[in-house]
């Protein structure tokens, strides 16, 4: 029996409406970093793997990523990547959070900054946040999912995880949770997919 629902943040509940302030090359590297990550040395790869655990690691990891791609990363670009003003809810986010109630609802995100202010700005409330930079571990580690379930006071088998990444979010299954994968796109271009994902697990 499902007693709680956990959501991913970026690409699931919130997204960016446009990337016009990013050059096409910067955007391509962000969306497909694997070739450049493969060229990182051991120390750089360690920082990359820890990029969502501290703001400093996140900045260093992205600087290295863009450097290996022959690009620069200005302070303005980095700040825009993390600026709450550039993160907006998808059109179905509020409805999805409402339909989950009275079940417990939480957010588990690989992130290096506090997203609570984004939810507060939109008057959206959840019962618990498990943010990688606070819990000290990131998805796809089972420990991240365990930490989120502890914060909701439920067993993993009683929890559904909703996210767009088949690897990081899909690891919920190995951690003992149920998983609903959604498609994603920039805000304003994504179809309303959250309610269908919840309904496929008998919610709503």
Tell me the DSSP string of 149-180.
Answer: HHHHT--GGGEEEEES-TTTTGGGTTTT-EEE
pLDDT in tens, 41-92: 999 999 999 999 999 999 999 999 999 999 999 988 888 888 888 899 999 9
The domain boundary residue, chosen from 42, 66, 84 = 84
Q: Do both 79 and 167 map to the same domain?
A: no
- Quote the domain boundaries for residue 151: 4-16+87-199
Q: Rounded to two decimals, what is the model's pTM?
A: 0.91
- Encode 54-111 in three state secondary structure: CHHHHHHHHHHHHHHCCCCCCHHHHHHHHCHHHCEECCCHHHHHHHHCCCEEEEEECC
The domain boundary residue, chosen from 42, 63, 84 = 84
Q: Do both 106 and 154 map to the same domain?
A: yes
Q: Do both 116 and 161 map to the same domain?
A: yes
Q: Do both 80 and 148 map to the same domain?
A: no
Q: How high does pLDDT run on average in the chain?
A: 94
Residues 6+ apart with CB under 8 A from 142: 171, 174, 175, 176
Query: Considering the domain boundaries, does residue 204 fall inside one?
Result: no
pLDDT in tens, 3-52: 999 999 999 999 987 667 788 899 889 888 999 999 999 999 999 999 99
Q: How many structural domains comprise the chain?
A: 2
Q: Do both 131 and 171 map to the same domain?
A: yes
């Amino acid at each position: 029996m499902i007693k709680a629902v956990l959501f991913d943040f970026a690409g699931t509940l919130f997204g960016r409406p446009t990337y016009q302030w990013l050059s096409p090359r910067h955007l391509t590297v962000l969306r497909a970093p694997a070739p450049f990550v493969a060229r990182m040395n051991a120390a750089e790869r360690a920082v990359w793997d820890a990029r969502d655990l501290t703001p400093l690691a996140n900045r260093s990891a992205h600087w290295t990523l863009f450097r290996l791609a022959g690009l620069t990363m200005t302070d303005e670009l980095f700040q825009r990547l993390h600026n709450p003003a550039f993160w907006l809810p998808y059109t179905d986010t509020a409805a999805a959070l409402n339909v989950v109630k009275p079940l417990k609802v939480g957010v588990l995100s690989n992130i290096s900054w506090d997203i609570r202010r984004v939810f507060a700005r939109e008057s959206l409330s959840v019962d618990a946040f498990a943010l990688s930079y606070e819990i000290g571990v990131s998805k796809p580690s089972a420990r991240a999912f365990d930490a989120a379930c502890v914060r909701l006071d439920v067993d993993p088998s009683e929890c559904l995880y909703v996210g767009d990444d088949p690897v990081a979010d899909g690891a919920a299954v190995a951690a003992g949770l149920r998983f609903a994968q959604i498609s994603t796109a920039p805000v304003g271009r994504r179809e309303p997919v959250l309610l269908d994902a919840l309904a496929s697990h008998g919610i709503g």
